[in-house]
Amino acid sequence: MADDGALRIIHCFRSPVGGIFRHVRDLVEEHRAAGHEIGVICDSSTGGAHEDRLFDDIRPLLSLGLIRIPIRRAIVPSDLAVIFNSYKHIKSLQPDILHGHGAKGGALARLIGSTLRVNRYRVARLYSPHGGSLHFTRSSLSGRAVLGLERLQERLTDSLVFVCDYERRTYEEKVGRPRTQSRVILNGIQEDEFETVAAGPDAADFLYIGMLRDLKGPDVFIDAFARTERAVGRPLSALMIGDGPDRDRYEAMMAERGLSRRIRMMPAMPARAAFSMARIVVVPSRAEAMPYIVLEALAAGKPLIASRVGGIPEILGADSAALAAPGDAQDLSGIMANALTTPGWRERVMPKPEDFKSAFSASVMARELLDLYRNLLSRPASMRTGEIVS
């Protein structure tokens, strides 16, 4: 750690797409503004033009550099080369903090950090699952293997960091009660994102924005949209914004149901640009941890309907009338129809803006995480070396 108290922090993760990348970008901005030195290691084979633009935005803030190397989703022999090459880079940067995000990022940070610790180099090793391996179950051989590896790696972990209480509970149910320190630090968003985004005069009725894959529920959204049209007795309009492996299948699904003219598909774009193009945001996911799109939509003042999954009830309230059963197009459709036709629905159902902001601010998230970093580094010397503490 520098004499002025500045920390040298490296974030490791696999795919620079979605919530993990958003989470890391927010931490980079907040912690760099507080005077700390930041670096990033992630996969070079995922992401597109949109992600390249996001990297360009934070590149000037990465005083410890941006390192992109091929990191496969599955466990493969080439992982050994990834670990070795990453170790050489990280050792040369002399970090105080190695924070891994997602299963592959967590393994990278903890294995490399532990190797440094064996050589009596002081570095704190943190892991945030962000869902990831917690989507597996013990009913399959692969699930038992992945969750078993999570348990094993606790011995290489100074602190687990969960982004919501749901993630903490899921970890305890699937992996076991943590044998190392753990904290829940809620995701948060930037101050300028709390400005209201008004819908334009030609705005669509509903918006789906996110990855085009079944886990996120685009097929449920299309089915629910068709049911909502029948329920309200008139044609409606919707936008589906995003990229993903199942895009062609969803287009075919819309064409088969005669919805192609009323549901328009557009490539990925910044969320706030998308919010101005629709009145109500729908998040029909089958599984989530703590999705940023929910936070972004509420901060922008958008009415929001979502599945009752992951940490979403912690945002909207456990008994919120905006929550639908996951994968249930009929239940989702009923809420969509109510939101569209019931006067005062938004004011009655959505969280109070002041309460929401006090809980889900990026500045609060970054400050709590920084306190944790410093707490870990202040441990007795015997706990900062290669000794394993369980």
CB 361 within 8 A of CB 188: yes
In this prediction, residue 5 carries a pLDDT of: 87
CB 184 within 8 A of CB 162: yes
In this prediction, residue 380 carries a pLDDT of: 67
pLDDT digits (tens, 9 = 90+) for 320-375: 999 999 999 999 999 999 999 999 999 999 999 999 999 999 999 999 999 999 99
CA distances from 330 to 114, 249, 294, 326, 346 (A): 50, 21, 21, 10, 20
Name the pTM for this structure: 0.83
In this prediction, residue 389 carries a pLDDT of: 35
User: What number of CA atoms fall less than 13 Å from residue 12's CA on the CB side?
Assistant: 28
Give the β-pairing of 278-283 and 323-324. unpaired
In this prediction, residue 202 carries a pLDDT of: 94
Q: Which residues on adjacent β-strands are paired with residue 238?
A: 206, 263
CB 303 within 8 A of CB 336: no
pLDDT (tens, 9 = 90+) of the chain, 390 residues, equals: 665 689 999 999 998 887 899 999 999 999 999 999 999 999 888 888 878 889 999 999 999 999 998 887 777 677 787 788 888 889 999 999 999 999 999 999 999 999 999 877 889 999 999 877 887 889 999 899 999 999 999 999 999 999 999 999 999 999 999 999 999 999 999 999 999 999 999 999 999 999 999 999 999 999 999 999 999 999 999 999 998 889 999 999 999 999 999 999 999 898 999 999 999 999 999 988 888 999 999 999 999 999 999 999 999 999 999 999 999 999 999 999 999 999 999 999 999 999 999 999 999 999 999 999 999 999 865 444 433 333
- Compute the distance between CA of residue 364 and CA of residue 370 in angstroms, rounded to an integer: 10
The token pair at 326 is 């996951």
In this prediction, residue 328 carries a pLDDT of: 98
Phi, psi torsion values for 147, nearest 5 degrees: -70, -30
In this prediction, residue 85 carries a pLDDT of: 80
Scanning the chain, the segments in alpha helix (DSSP H) are: 19-33, 49-58, 79-93, 102-118, 141-153, 165-174, 218-232, 247-256, 271-275, 292-299, 312-316, 329-341, 345-349, 353-359, 362-377
Domains of the chain and CATH, by start: 8-188+361-383 (3.40.50.2000), 192-359 (3.40.50.2000)
